Chains A and B, each alone.
Chain A
């Protein structure tokens, strides 16, 4: 299992991100995109752990040894999306050419006043979903771990204060009550399902040729609240092009299923499969720059001994 992202806490990325935001607001998108090149080069050269993680991922997804140009492309895509978040958060959708597939999956359910869980990932950009919500008057919230780059969030909050109220910090006991309340109002709650937050609810799934730990809590949540789970991928295709994909993963996650652990495994594996599919479609969109497969240190389970349960015993209902 890899909780590596929490240890790394996008440490190195903070400076990169803050710099990009400053340039984006000061100079505009075209000039900022030119300036991203030296920034990305600097980052690739000096950010050892991120570079190693990227190389490992790229080797798996590309099926070959990645070269320096692959790394540059990967980090450039990351920097581009950070830059574009500045414009997406400030509502400048006209700058982008966005294609949307499968929106009817979501629209049909929301039209009936049904709340939906939107299950995304750190592949591509989640903020591009805002382009879809525009004009529909639908409440959209995003569950986020508050440790995740607080400085960037503060910077983005200055751009769009509403973006902060849209975030449900995952660390509080009442976080899922807020999710429940938003869904009950017919809203959409986004969750990024590719990073392990708690060692208590994980499923090891085949992912790009090796087992990786995925959180299964979303499926337990969906079964408790009896809401559909819709997959979301906002892929960056280069230039100003984005492709949004919605897909129905599950209309209902059945609580009554006799084999509860089996149900958790089943749905988490389906998610990992679709994530792999989209990774192959847009390989440079992967923004988990840490030891994703837990290959650097295999033993990595903090705090497990004090819990009232062993991780494997508590899988989603």
Chain B
């Protein structure tokens, strides 16, 4: 877990808290899929997560963003999008 960035561990904490997951934030593999097979999140989880990200970082995820599938693919991809687009 040495290669996890501070933003990644912060966002992992946000995801676990927002979705009330029964795992430790540190157990979210940064490159593992968040949806479907990996953490087993669904599209309503994605929405709830995006609402929390919008509140915390001022970054509103949009479905018409051509990168959206990539953004949702893993914690790492999500965090690089947050780093790029955050307004707070």
A interface list, Cβ under 8 A from B: 170-181, 198, 200-201, 217, 220-221, 224-225, 303, 306-310, 313-314, 317
B5 within 8 Å of A by Cβ?
A: no
Decide yes or no: A177 and B46 within 8 Å by CB, A224-B51, A306-B40, A307-B40 being known contacts.
yes
Complex contact B42–A224 (CB within 8 A) = no
4 nearest interchain CB pairs?
A307-B40, A176-B47, A173-B72, A177-B63
Distance between Cα atoms of A221 and B43 in the complex (Å): 10
Distance between Cα atoms of A317 and B40 in the complex (Å): 18
Complex contact B51–A198 (CB within 8 A) = no
B82 within 8 Å of A by Cβ?
A: no
Complex contact A176–B69 (CB within 8 A) = no
B interface list, Cβ under 8 A from A: 19-23, 34-35, 37, 39-44, 46-48, 50-51, 61-64, 68-69, 72
Complex contact B63–A181 (CB within 8 A) = yes
Complex contact A172–B69 (CB within 8 A) = yes
Complex contact B62–A221 (CB within 8 A) = no
B45 to chain A, nearest CB (A): 9
Decide yes or no: A308 and B23 within 8 Å by CB, A173-B72, A177-B68, A178-B63 being known contacts.
yes
A70 to chain B, nearest CB (A): 38
Partner of B40, one of A173, A309, A313: A309
Partner of B21, one of A176, A179, A308: A308
Distance between Cα atoms of A170 and B47 in the complex (Å): 13
Complex contact B37–A172 (CB within 8 A) = no
Decide yes or no: A177 and B22 within 8 Å by CB, A170-B43, A172-B43, A224-B44 being known contacts.
no
Q: Which of A174, A175, A181, A309 has the most CB of B within 10 A?
A: A174
Complex contact B47–A314 (CB within 8 A) = no
Complex contact B47–A180 (CB within 8 A) = yes
Distance between Cα atoms of A225 and B44 in the complex (Å): 11
Partner of A313, one of B22, B39, B44, B62: B22
Complex contact B22–A308 (CB within 8 A) = yes
Residue of A nearest to B37 (CB): A306
Complex contact B43–A175 (CB within 8 A) = yes
A61 to chain B, nearest CB (A): 31
